[in-house]
A and B are shown apart, each in its own frame.
Chain A
């Protein structure tokens, strides 16, 4: 059906060639944008939009002042934000998948929960910020909770969909061979729902980043969101812009890592989809 028939060297060549070409393509637009920014802002006298040259010029002194890299503002800020977002994201993943598997597996539970889930799905997570602040104050737990509450929904809802969509013939097979609950979970339910879980995870990642920044801007003294807010309050526009750049880079790197994990985790799925479409 889809057994590879191209000779191996040709495949490798195509793969690496394709890979290189894709990297070039992926980097092209950012390069163009930076160039445009560079020239468009070059003669700017507007204090809100300093020339990109100034932003980059200030970058080392703002972020890497002092000679100890470990205690530089950059490492501290990025470390705070990234650990926050990762902890929140991981908690959301665990809760979302566990609840999603339960709700997706048990029909009555699903009928019971579905309307409420739809309600929460319709609420944009950032709106929850002031509400959660009311309840939790502005401590460390709040910022993590904001991320969890925002990132949970796409994971939960997609996991439910994924579990529900598992082929009944596979379920029958698992049942006929008497697979126990644990083996069933790891051999059928989780892998069967994994394409949707990854979809949910991807959506959740961007929401987690948004919630991280919002939380830090409202209620933190560290982290990239708070840096942006502070630079803005002190009219250090160039520094603020550099913080925004860093934020964008954090998002891109996390998305890249996610993509790499997904590519490995769903290798079977891509092959499966291709074979369903009728080969090659």
Chain B
């Protein structure tokens, strides 16, 4: 069943975002440029209000950038590109309350044109992967916040996307489940070769998951550093997290985010002990 759908490479060129509308204009993103290779897993961290969600929504084609350009697999993103799955930060509100959990997960597959039997299998597998095999017939509003979040994750997983965008997808789940879901994302990523952008405020999580971690500054956002995480392809909750290299990277990112909160805007000005 393993069909490696190839991830697409993502390129962001001088993207700027100013929110206009009621009240004064808010410059959320000042200038972002970066590249993500096809099949890479990149985590994005930064202070709260840094513009992580804004960036993700621009990448998803849900929000137009004020200037600059995003290209995915060579084509300019003007709206949500096909083969993309998102887990929005407002996970609870992203589930259709008139559909059961199963139907919620199945809906994008229908649009994708997956045959019925195959849909059933994908839905079942995805729900099992997030330990919700028994909740398929429930409605989202009958579930806890953490369970709802896992449904949103299952929906993205079942979709077998080429690009997977996740905005703090584990914020509401308990610590134990969180570790399991981290491994689920890693496994899915390796199985499908999908390009993943993973926004989180949890620095350990970013370092554990990512091949690279992008550290953003305060608003108006710029990219402080692209931290390469060379912890190998095999990650293990115990071994990786106790590895000295993990600790070093974690401390490095931690210090950066701390200083970003206080207004650090250039990596040259950073005072790093790690």
Binding site for B on A (CB under 8 A): 1-3, 167, 169-170, 172-173, 175-180, 183, 187-188, 191-192, 194, 268-269, 271-272, 274-276
A–B complex contacts, Cβ < 8 Å, 30 sampled: A1-B141, A1-B142, A1-B143, A2-B142, A3-B143, A167-B93, A169-B94, A170-B94, A172-B57, A172-B94, A173-B96, A175-B80, A176-B62, A177-B85, A177-B86, A177-B107, A177-B159, A178-B108, A179-B108, A179-B111, A183-B111, A192-B98, A194-B98, A268-B97, A268-B98, A268-B139, A268-B141, A271-B139, A272-B139, A272-B141
CB distance from B242 to the nearest CB of A (A): 37
Complex contacts, B36 vs chain A, CB 8 Å: none
Q: CA–CA, A194 to B99, complex, Å?
A: 13
User: In the bound complex, do residue A176 and residue B60 qualify as a contact, i.e. CB atoms below 8 Å apart?
Assistant: yes
CB distance from A65 to the nearest CB of B (A): 50
The answer, yes or no, to whether B33 is at the interface (CB within 8 Å) is no
The answer, yes or no, to whether B196 is at the interface (CB within 8 Å) is no
In addition to A176-B80, A177-B159, 7 A-B residue pairs with Cβ atoms within 8 Å of each other are: A170-B94, A173-B96, A176-B60, A176-B85, A177-B108, A178-B108, A272-B141
Complex contacts, A276 vs chain B, CB 8 Å: 141
Complex contacts, B79 vs chain A, CB 8 Å: 175
Q: Which of A3, A173, A187 contacts B88 (CB 8 A)?
A: A173
Binding site for A on B (CB under 8 A): 57, 60-62, 79-80, 82, 84-86, 88, 90, 93-94, 96-99, 107-108, 110-111, 138-139, 141-144, 159
Q: Which residue of B lies closest to A274 (CB)?
A: B141
- 3 closest residue pairs by CB, A with B: A177-B108, A275-B141, A169-B93
Which of A1, A177, A192, A194 gathers most chain B CB within 10 Å? A177
User: In the bound complex, do residue A176 and residue B90 qualify as a contact, i.e. CB atoms below 8 Å apart?
Assistant: no
